[in-house]
């Protein structure tokens, strides 16, 4: 599936998975050239919510599936043009549509700028640069 990526550059498209799988790739293209990509991998939720009596709660909005954002990379010549933010927004929207409950990972790279970027995207960041975005 490919569609237009909303960013500061014209004619950028994104390909994304057609559904959930254990490893998913999102790719952004400018014409035939790949300019950015992201990888997510899954794990089942460890804790299911329980009622006061200890019975599992059937909550359709929180299926307990979470994805680790393993990598998001934008080619050097395309940075600071909104491509990474637009790609991350596509990932978040895709995960919401698929009823994923959590996206998590680690902020790697230039920490001050990267921490600020993830915070602007709605993620929480702990003291050791773990990121987390609850979608429920």
Residue 60: pLDDT above 80? no
Lowest mean pLDDT among 14-18, 84-88, 107-111, 112-116: 107-111
- Alpha carbons 119 and 125: distance in angstroms, whole number: 7
CA torsion angle 15 21 22 24 (round to 10): 0
Each residue of 73-105: pLDDT tens digit? Answer: 999 999 999 999 999 999 999 999 999 999 999
pTM for the full predicted model: 0.80
Answer whether 123's CB lies under 8 Å from 45's CB.
no
The fold of the 2-46+57-134 domain, in CATH, is Aminopeptidase (3.40.630)
Q: Tally the C-alpha atoms within 13 A of residue 6's C-alpha that lie toward its C-beta.
A: 5
Residue 126: pLDDT above 80? yes
Task: Characterize 22-51 residue by residue with b for buried, 16 or more Cβ atoms within 10 angstroms of its Cβ, and e for exposed.
Answer: eebebbbbbeeeebbbbbbeeeeeeeeeee
pLDDT score, position 53 = 56
Sequence spans of domains, the chain: 2-46+57-134
* More confident: 55 or 120: 120
Whole-number average pLDDT of the chain: 83
Question: Phi and psi at residue 94, in whole multiples of 5°?
Answer: -60, -45
DSSP character string of 17-44: -SS--SEEEEEEEETTEEEEEEEEEEEE
Which of the 8 DSSP states describes residue 55? P
pLDDT score, position 81 = 92
């Amino acid at each position: 599936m490919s569609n237009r990526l909303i960013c500061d550059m014209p004619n950028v498209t994104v390909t994304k998975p057609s559904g959930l799988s254990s490893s998913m790739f999102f790719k952004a293209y400018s014409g035939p050239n790949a300019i950015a990509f992201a990888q997510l991998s899954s794990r089942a939720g460890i804790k299911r919510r329980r009622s006061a009596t200890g019975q599992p709660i059937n909550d359709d909005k929180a299926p307990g599936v979470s994805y680790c954002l393993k990598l998001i990379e934008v080619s050097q010549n395309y940075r600071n043009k909104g491509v990474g933010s637009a790609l991350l927004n596509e990932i978040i929207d895709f995960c919401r549509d698929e009823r994923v409950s959590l996206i998590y990972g680690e902020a790697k790279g230039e920490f001050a700028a990267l921490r600020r970027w993830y915070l602007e995207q709605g993620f929480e960041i702990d003291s050791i640069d773990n990121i987390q975005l609850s979608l429920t």
